Amino acid sequence: MIEITNERPTDAAAIETLLDQAFGPGRLAKSSYSYRKRVSRLWPLCLVAREADALVGTIRFWPIGIGAYAAPALLLGPVAVRADFQSTGVGGLLMRASLARATAAGHRLVVLVGDEPYYGRFGFKPAAEWGVSMERENPARVLALPLDGSDVAIPSGLVQRWRSVRREAA
Ligand SMILES: CC(C)(COP(=O)(O)OP(=O)(O)OC[C@H]1O[C@@H](n2cnc3c(N)ncnc32)[C@H](O)[C@@H]1OP(=O)(O)O)[C@@H](O)C(=O)NCCC(=O)NCCS
């Protein structure tokens, strides 16, 4: 039976192996990784899927700032499921569980870079609809989800790395 739990520091090596298998060794060069460099991930939202003792899925979140006022938002990803467990619903479990936790914690907006045909089923739409964009990313793959179901007061502007946002604001 699949169990969804919080990621633990001891899961790090198994997650790196899973991410290498899912995205290939070049994954760290993706521009979306620049938002994660030297920024701590949001541990309460980072979940793993286990089958018995094996780690078969991961989802992680990072803080980002949006627009001139560096409005806080979440960067979702990476999310990956071990190849032999794909299309069995594990990705959906990880998505729904983490988004429910993010909503309960009061987060307002989630941004990700990915395929709308997959993430659309969780309510994600092109972020351009709210005027949100990411440098060096195809706008069709930059997706956003307002968590409280309302798009009133959703910030617009460029996605920025969290720590540089704080430093500039200081
Ligand atoms: C994307 C991923 C996390 C989904 O996890 P999963 O456990 O396979 O997802 P689920 O079982 O909840 O859903 C499977 C459905 O999503 C669809 N799907 C998976 N990836 C998709 C994609 N990139 N675009 C469109 N649909 C996709 C499957 O075809 C399947 O469709 P069905 O429900 O009509 O059969 C997983 O396939 C994966 O790890 N892929 C490699 C890494 C990756 O691409 N990560 C996402 C980056 S955008």
What structural domains and CATH numbers belong to the chain?
Answer: 2-169 (3.40.630.30)
What stretches of the chain show up as alpha helix (H) in DSSP?
Answer: 12-23, 90-104, 116-119, 162-169
Q: What is the mean pLDDT of the chain?
A: 92
Band (pLDDT 50/70/90 cuts) for residue 150 is low
Q: How far is the CA of 86 from the centre of ligand 1 (A)?
A: 7
Ligand 1 mean position, distance from CA 91 (Å): 7
pLDDT surpassing 80 at residue 152: no
Q: Considering the entire predicted model, what is its pTM?
A: 0.94
- Answer whether residue 100 shows pLDDT above 70: yes
Ligand 1 and 122: CB distance under 6 A: no
Atom of ligand 1 nearest to the CA of 82: 39
81 pocket-lining for ligand 1 (C-beta < 6 Å)? yes
Please report, as a single letter, which amino acid is at residue 140. A
Residue of the CA atom closest to atom 22 of ligand 1: 118
Residue entry with tokens 């793959």: 141
Q: Is the peptide bond before 78 cis (omega within 30 degrees of 0)?
A: yes
Which residue's CA is the closest to the ligand 1 atom numbered 48?
Answer: 114
- Cα separation, 78 vs 44, in Å, equals 15
Higher pLDDT, 164 or 123: 123
- Report how far ligand 1's centroid is from the alpha carbon of 98 (Å): 16
Residue 47 CA to ligand 1 center (angstroms) comes to: 17
Q: Tell me what percent of the residues of the chain surpass a pLDDT of 90.
A: 81
* Mean pLDDT computed over 110-114: 97
Residue 170 has pLDDT above 50, yes or no: no
Mean pLDDT of 112-119: 97
The three-point CA angle 10-49-163 to 5° equals 60
Is residue 19 within 6 Å of ligand 1 at its C-beta? no
3-state secondary structure of 35: helix
Task: For residue 91, give both structure tokens.
Answer: 């990705």
Residues 32-91 pLDDT 10s? 888 998 899 999 999 999 999 899 999 999 999 999 889 999 999 999 999 999 999 999
Note the pLDDT of residue 31.
84
